[in-house]
Structure 1
Amino acid sequence: MFQYLIAGLLAGVHRASWGAFKDSPYEGFRVQAYLRSILLSLLWSMFWFLWLPGKVSVVQPLYIFLMVILLDTLTVEIYKLFFRIENQKKYKIPSRFHLWNKEVNPEWQRNIIGVILSGLLIVIFSSLFSVNLGTDPTKRFFIGMMLGFIAGLCEAVGGMWKDAPFEGFEPLKFFRSPVVGTIAGSILFLFQTNLGVGMLATFGADRMLIETYKTFILRRRNGRFLSKKPLFSKELSLRKYLVIPYSITWIYLVFNFLGLVIK
């Protein structure tokens, strides 16, 4: 249980730190939002603790972390897209679900789409955990490459659906996720035989690596806000402190990955 709690806690810190670093110059730093993300990740880690043992024999902390990242991200995105009621005036790219550039209304239609999508994801993801890929690492490597590409392609299509009507289609941006997903999948499936664990971890790794690149390396302006200039200058200078907890989560990830390689 302890390793699940630690993985969940650090996954929450990871998600909360990158979200606050990216959004605080435009929305301000909100302590409750930061803590809420950590709490949500802890809840998802407890879900994995209760649900996985009967289905998977061994789940390393690295995979727990990445699967929590995925479920945290999906929970927040589905809530924003289909259930949250929020004034959209501050956004260049609406946070609510839209078909091309038209927001879906009335509210109940968005809610129904959200429920159906959530149900489909639950059925699809849960079915993956019944598949064991065997002990041949070469076979798993190539399966990981293929499934990683599919995972990245799914994320690329989702991003294009959301952003392209407002920012235009960017080929390099679109193919970035499939490339990262292919690399992540080929590596992660080397150390995990369960299809569900490997696939969900690959989705989580793809999202995490791309967000790290965009947010902390490129330092790109958050394009979803209408304002092109930060509205909270204080947060712009203070957000550098968020790099500290974010870096700690990366140390945890690297340490656990090296443990898998050495073993």
Structure 2
Amino acid sequence: MTLLLAAAVGMMAGVHTATWGMYKDAPHEGFSRRKYARSIVLGTVIGVVVAVVWRLDPRRAADLVVLFGATYAVERALAEIYKTFLRDEDQSKYFIPMQFAVFGKLVRSRGARLLAGAGYVAVLLAMIVLVTGIDRALPDPKPLWLVVGVGGLGGWISAFGGAWKDAPKEGFQIFKFFRSPLIASLFALGLSYLSDDLVLVTLAATGFCVATTETYKTFFFPSVPRGKFAGMPVHFPEMLRRRQPFILLYAAIWLVVLGALFVALRGVPSPG
């Protein structure tokens, strides 16, 4: 039962990411069942793996919340690694290249992309090892300044990665750069009330940071195309109408997660 629930939570995270991605991309690319299902399947598998590794029980509201956030972060990380370093795709349809680029210029050598990707993955793994070491070296509860500082790491990774990709085309935007680290740190502060594991808190904070910023950009400004499609034509205008029912599904997932968060936070003592 626990693993089935973990799979369900992972599936919710996958549906969530697939929905905001489809909502923004479909008017330009059309709706792809395969692409939409990819995040759902991946999220389902990741949800089970994360639950097993960290021994999470989604029947507990706190575990459900951190499992959702951590699954979200891992799914997004794997998807971005695939799109940036592994996938070969025509980039002419994008204003901002989605494959690995240096100062806005595509790196066309697959070997060079793979080498850069290996370096990127190595840095991510090194950060996980570092956070794990800090977590094991210090007793619980951790100081709040440490939780906020370390918990925002995923936001910093997102900020630097986004600036590397977007700034050559859009220019460097200070608010946009610091937005993700700030949001991730704030989520880490709240999530530290639900888990003492600093790695899990950092992952979950990163996931909720992505979920929050993408919700804001996608559904509060639905007529503004994603940066990668800025100035590009809308080839599938019918998707502007067909995508609308997905909003209810997206909102329902948010309600489940926020409801679990409300239940989990009631009566939980401060970590420090």
- Equivalent residues in 2 for 1:207-222, closer than 5 Å: 207-219=210-222, 220-222=224-226
Query: What's 2:84 paired with?
Result: 81
Is 1:248 matched up with 2:252? Answer: yes
Q: Compute the displacement of 1:209 (Å).
A: 0.8
* Distance in 1 separating the partners of 2:191 and 2:75: 20
Distance change (3 Å), C-alpha of 1:172 and 1:116: closer
Is 1:134–1:193's contact at 8 Å kept on the other side of the alignment?
no
In the alignment, what sits opposite 1:26? 28
Residue from 92, 96, 101 that aligns with 1:98 = 101
TM-score after normalising by structure 2: 0.87
Q: Which deviates the most, 107-116 or 35-44?
A: 107-116
Instruction: After superposing the two structures, state which structure 1 stretch, 186-195 or 72-81, moved more.
Output: 186-195
Structure 1 residue aligned with 2:116, among 113, 116, 131?
113
Structure 2 residue 127 is the aligned partner of structure 1 residue 124: yes
Once residues 107 and 100 of structure 1 are traced to their aligned partners in structure 2, the CA distance between those partners, rounded to angstroms, is: 17
> Residue by residue, what CA displacement relative to the aligned partner does 1:25-77 show, whole Å, maximum 9, x if unpaired?
110111111111100101111221332239xxx97111111111111111111
Report deviation, 1:127. Answer: 5.4
Contact map agreement 1:80 1:95 (CA 8 A) in 2: yes
Q: What amino acid sits opposite 1:258 in the alignment?
A: F
Cα deviation code 1:126-158 (max 9, x no counterpart): 55346256444xx54332322244432321111
Offset at 1:78? 0.5
Q: 1:2 deviation in Å?
A: 2.8
Q: For 2:47 and 2:190, how far apart are their aligned partners in 1?
A: 23
For 2:8, give the aligned amino acid. Answer: I
Pairing 1:1-263 to 2, within 5 Å after superposition: 1-53=3-55, 60-126=63-129, 128-129=131-132, 131-132=135-136, 134-136=139-141, 139-219=142-222, 220-225=224-229, 227-263=231-267
**Counterparts of 2:70 and 2:264, CA distance in 1:** 17
Q: 2-side partners of 1:29 and 1:164: how far apart? A: 28
For structure 1, list consecutive stretches of 5 or more residues without a partner in the other structure.
Answer: none
Decide whether the 8 Å contact of 1:140 with 1:190 is kept in 2: no
Distance 1:127 1:6, change over 3 A: farther
Residues 4 and 128 (structure 1), Cα distance of their counterparts in 2 relative to 1, 3 Å cut: farther
* Structure 1 length-normalised TM: 0.90
- Give the C-alpha shift of residue 233 in structure 1: 0.7
CA 1:85–1:118: 2 relative to 1, 3 Å: same
Output the amino acid matched with 1:64. L
2 CA distance for matches of 1:175 and 1:129? 25
The unaligned stretches of length 5 or more in structure 2 are 268-272
Tell me the CA shift for residue 172 of structure 1.
1.8
User: Could you tell me which amino acid in structure 2 is paired with residue 224 of structure 1?
Assistant: K
Give the Cα separation in 2 of the matches to 1:9 and 1:211. Answer: 18
Partner Cα separation in structure 1 for residue 208 and residue 102 of structure 2: 28
Aligned residue number for residue 270 of structure 2: none
Contact 1:81–1:96 (CA<8 Å) still a contact in 2? yes
**CA-atom RMSD, angstroms?**
2.1
Tell me which amino acid in the other structure corresponds to 2:245: Y
What is the aligned residue count? 258
